[in-house]
Structure 1
């Protein structure tokens, strides 16, 4: 299946502050930039006396922790980053390194070598949703987010899809490990396949009533995989809680995501 990609329109990026961009679609590139609402809160001094770029650096290095929303004054900055070339370039830098690592793996040959992929903002992108909700500058609303999830229309992050295909071609099986609830299994499976992720060894979702932190939950699920005889050769996610904790895997890879923080 031909890899589907986003269209990152320069015109959309340049008009974030004053205009609404129109959806663009071509036969070969079916992922679009969705119409954006007027962005707010761009004035004033950066948070804590630092630039928004420095704030994002702190987020990505796990130095800035425990925040609930993007600082309102950085909404415009995060929007430009996510819709511009830099986000894609940063993602490509991570997945290229991951692919190079995967090519050098020596597999057990028993079919038990697995690579863990997170789903949201790793395999599937919710950017069409966050573009309408302040790029993380608004309080998280589980109702509206779940409504978006249930459309099953989240596109693939192209760089992750490329890595996914590389991993499979090398004989490594894929395990999707997500914080989505078990009630979303059917729509999540359909969305993954629609986006190009057509096969996997396991799709692990949170059980009903599971209130553990993301770090505790994902560590526990990885330990279960090990007990079942799987060898985790790689692990990629957009949150530090995706890749820290127990049974991390042979090597971990962190994708950029300045829109939200999960501990």
Structure 2
């Protein structure tokens, strides 16, 4: 069954539902997307989509532009199904274990850096649309910015749980995103509505960093933090460019994202 089934379901999600119930609800809607080969492998035209996703997550496949057409259904099944949720929970569990093992200095300079898109906030309602199809169609900057401007992205539940654990431990939270500075007000309200109510800094991409790669931009911003006295003890993102480069942090954690690649 086409992914439009998922899109139609998303349109019916009650507006009164709290943001963090979104992924919990869509888990059950994915069942019409039947695997095309054993164990959800989607083996078509010599592409095994499980293997393709593993290669993406381990950075063996880089600089890719689109999800292979043969894997569109598989990626939709994964992102809206239970496995994505479980994978994110595993990352959060390991991060929480690490955070609890630390003894913080207590001077307010121990920080945890979070990316936003597909790390703390989910753009699943956007990527499930029939004109996006989980990264199988070309990225449209205008359409995506229109979605961001709506300010309705729900949280990634596992990341929200990590965030809620870090605050009472004494960590200061820094959100570091490639979102343009002009969206500061809407991103602020979206984060708060999703449950992220407190942070030390929200760093967005300004005109001075326009045209730089994500890796260069995020390295630069983390270095500025370190030079001002902060210690990056933890860093979480969905892209390798979030967690590589200068001053990446004492420990880095990657949540899965097979829908797009940002270098």
Matching of residues 106-121 of structure 1 within 5 Å: 106-121=103-118
- Does residue 171 of structure 2 align to residue 188 of structure 1? no
Instruction: Indicate if the aligned counterparts of 1:114 and 1:231 stay in contact, CA closer than 8 A.
Output: yes
Taking only aligned residues, the RMSD between alpha carbons, in angstroms, comes to 2.4
* Structure 2 CA distance for aligned equivalents of residues 107 and 30 of structure 1: 33
For the residue of structure 2 that corresponds to 1:136, the secondary structure is coil
Instruction: Indicate if the aligned counterparts of 2:47 and 2:70 stay in contact, CA closer than 8 A.
Output: no
TM-score, scaled relative to structure 2: 0.87
Structure 1 equivalent of residue 58 of structure 2: 61
* CA offsets 1:137-196 (integer angstroms, 9 cap, x no match): 110001000000000000000000000011111000000000001011010000000000
Greater share of helix residues, 1 or 2?
Answer: 2
Matching of residues 1-263 of structure 1 within 5 Å: 19=5, 21-22=8-9, 23-25=12-14, 30-31=21-22, 33=26, 46=44, 49-132=46-129, 133-208=132-207, 210-263=210-263
For the residue of structure 2 that corresponds to 1:100, the secondary structure is helix
For the residue of structure 2 that corresponds to 1:192, the secondary structure is helix
Shift of 1:87: 0.2
Instruction: Indicate if the aligned counterparts of 2:3 and 2:76 stay in contact, CA closer than 8 A.
Output: no
* Structure 1 CA distance for aligned equivalents of residues 244 and 3 of structure 2: 37
* CA offsets 1:200-220 (integer angstroms, 9 cap, x no match): 000001112511100000000
TM-score, scaled relative to structure 1: 0.87
For the residue of structure 1 that corresponds to 2:182, the secondary structure is helix
Instruction: Indicate if the aligned counterparts of 1:235 and 1:253 stay in contact, CA closer than 8 A.
Output: yes
Shift of 1:72: 1.1
Shift of 1:246: 0.5
Instruction: Indicate if the aligned counterparts of 2:114 and 2:175 stay in contact, CA closer than 8 A.
Output: yes
Shift of 1:16: 5.2
Structure 2, unaligned runs of 5 or more:
none
* Structure 1 CA distance for aligned equivalents of residues 53 and 143 of structure 2: 25
**Number of aligned residue pairs:** 245
Shift of 1:46: 3.8
Instruction: Indicate if the aligned counterparts of 1:16 and 1:80 stay in contact, CA closer than 8 A.
Output: no
